[in-house]
Structure 1
Amino acid sequence: MNSPVAHVPQVEVVVSDCSATDAGSLFAELCRHFGSDRCATDTPHETSGSRPTMWTGTFDTSASPGESPGTASAQPLSGSVKAELQGEPRAVERLRQALDETFVVQQLGVVAGDQEVDVELRLESRRPA
């Protein structure tokens, strides 16, 4: 007999096509909403060479953040940022909703499996009204 699949709240986020500063701003914003293996003050750094740089973080969509969501506003991004979210569909959707609150989010692609989804997004700062 098959048992129901348990909800796994972790989402892996891979950030690329941006500066280290923008990657840090995105991770800091996610740390305002969720527990993480990263600290909101962790600063990504650039690597030298011609290879693309990617930064990763794992966010627990069921855990309380390290700081309260209302403590600081998001730093604006200097350009667009590519983010790939991978995890259980409900956890990915919860993290995506947090991104929608702060950034302009464009979905570039999605691959869905039996128990996991992989969503590719392009994020940009919201323009002041």
Structure 2
Amino acid sequence: MSSPVSHVPQVEVVVSGCSAADAGSLFAELCRRFGSDRSLDDAPHETAGVRPTMWTGTFDTSAAPGRFGRTAPPPPLSGQVTAELQGEPRAVERLRRALDETFVVHQVGAVSGDQEIEVELRLESRART
């Protein structure tokens, strides 16, 4: 008798086209909801040079969303943030739904593979009332 292999649906998130503070806000929001290779207080930082800066994180979407309560809304983004999500389609969709609850999300593109999907999103802060 063989036991089933447990599968942890992970999504790799690549953030670019924004400030380190905006990348930090996005990653902090995802860390509140999902397990990650990043800690909640792992703040991205700028690098010197002319190359574009990209930040990455891997998130375990098998954790129930909302498991870390929010004490305050996330700080507003200073502009649009580009986020590329890559992983198993259901895991990517679960992470995207979490982003939809906090940010205005525009899907820019998607590429489907045999077992994975890659989705490019543009995120903006929600208007506060």
What's the TM-score, normalizing by structure 2? Answer: 0.90
Question: C-alpha separation between the residues in 2 aligned to 1:115 and 1:72?
Answer: 37
Question: C-alpha separation between the residues in 2 aligned to 1:47 and 1:107?
Answer: 28
Question: C-alpha separation between the residues in 1 aligned to 2:79 and 2:18?
Answer: 7
Question: C-alpha separation between the residues in 1 aligned to 2:64 and 2:38?
Answer: 13
Letter in 1 for 2:61: T
Give 3-state SS (helix, strand or coil) of 1:27's partner: helix
1:101 equivalent in alignment to 2:93: no
The answer for the alignment partner of 2:56 in structure 1 is: 56
User: Deviation at 1:73?
Assistant: 2.0
The answer for the alignment partner of 1:3 in structure 2 is: none
Question: C-alpha separation between the residues in 2 aligned to 1:88 and 1:64?
Answer: 17
The answer for the alignment partner of 1:19 in structure 2 is: 19
Instruction: Give the ranges of 4+ consecutive aligned residues of structure 1 lying more than 6 Å apart after TM superposition.
Output: none
User: Deviation at 1:91?
Assistant: 0.1
What's the TM-score, normalizing by structure 1? Answer: 0.90
Q: Which moved more, 1:6-15 or 1:91-100?
A: 6-15
Count of residues paired in the alignment: 124
Note the residue ranges of structure 1 that are not aligned, 5 or more in a row. Answer: 1-5
Question: C-alpha separation between the residues in 1 aligned to 2:68 and 2:93?
Answer: 21
The answer for the alignment partner of 2:111 in structure 1 is: 111
User: Deviation at 1:29?
Assistant: 0.3
Letter in 1 for 2:93: E
Paired residues of 1:8 and 1:91 also in contact (CA < 8 A) = no
Paired residues of 1:13 and 1:56 also in contact (CA < 8 A) = yes
Deviations 1:88-128 (A, max 9, x none): 00000000000000000000000001100000000000012
Note the residue ranges of structure 2 that are not aligned, 5 or more in a row. Answer: 1-5
